[in-house]
Amino acid sequence: MFKISYMPAKELIILEMAEYELNELVETCRLLLDSGRPVVLNWAEGVAFHHNPIPFNTKEFIEERKRGRIYWSSVIFTLMPEYTPILKIGAREIPILATPNPILKQVAKWLRDHSTKK
């Protein structure tokens, strides 16, 4: 019989984070788009954010994942009490996903609780 295992992360380690006002986050996203990087924001718990996970492409990070740890090199965020599915930057649009992911919801709550712009 085929076995399926679920091994959710037990810990997230964020190496860098920056909080912006909404207009600053939009401008930062525009710069990312202009450099050719795709940008999709997540939204939960009144926070919009974009993160950069560190891939599991080394033995060390694979072992960390087996221990339940995941790493993000960075996260940028803003308080955004009301959800909107799209932010417009001129003719461009940044999609915002209302994430159902329980880990991302916990991250959003943690970011909101650690906001300096409340």
Domain boundaries, the chain: 11-113
Contact 112, 45 (CB under 8 A): yes
pLDDT tens digits for range 19-61: 999 999 999 998 998 888 889 999 999 999 999 999 888 899 8
Q: Please tell me the distance from the alpha carbon of residue 63 to that of residue 72, in angstroms, as a whole number.
A: 16
Cα-based distances in Å from 96 to 18, 46, 71, 105? 18, 12, 22, 14
Task: State pTM to two decimals.
Answer: 0.90
| Element at 98 (helix H, strand E) | strand 92-98
Q: Please tell me the distance from the alpha carbon of residue 43 to that of residue 65, in angstroms, as a whole number.
A: 25
pLDDT tens digits for range 67-110: 999 999 999 999 999 999 999 888 889 999 999 999 999 999 99
